[in-house]
Amino acid sequence: MNQNNNKTLKNELEDLQYELSIVLEAMLLYAGVKRDKLENAIEAYIDNIDNVLENSNKEGVDEILEVVEFLKNKYK
């Protein structure tokens, strides 16, 4: 891969990372997280996702919903 392709790929990855962070914020807001608690909710999501899904049989969107439900129950 040449240097120009590497830059393009890097830019695309940065754009995707930004979009995913926006989607995560929107999902948590829609789930009921207050804006002033959003950073804490994001940290909690990241900290708990592996543990919640470790023994889960859910797939795709249902995995994400399982983590959100876990957070809603744990951090009411």
On the question of pLDDT at 62 being above 80, the answer is: yes
Local structure of 57: helix, strand or coil: coil
Domain limits at 12? Answer: 3-74
Structure tokens at 11: 């830019």
Enter the pTM of the model: 0.83
pLDDT tens-digit profile of 17-34? 999 999 999 999 999 999
Contacts of 25 (CB under 8 A, 6+ apart): 38, 42
State the alpha helices, DSSP H only, in 1-76. Answer: 3-30, 38-53, 61-74
- CA–CA separation, 45 vs 37, rounded Å? 12
Total domains present in the chain: 1
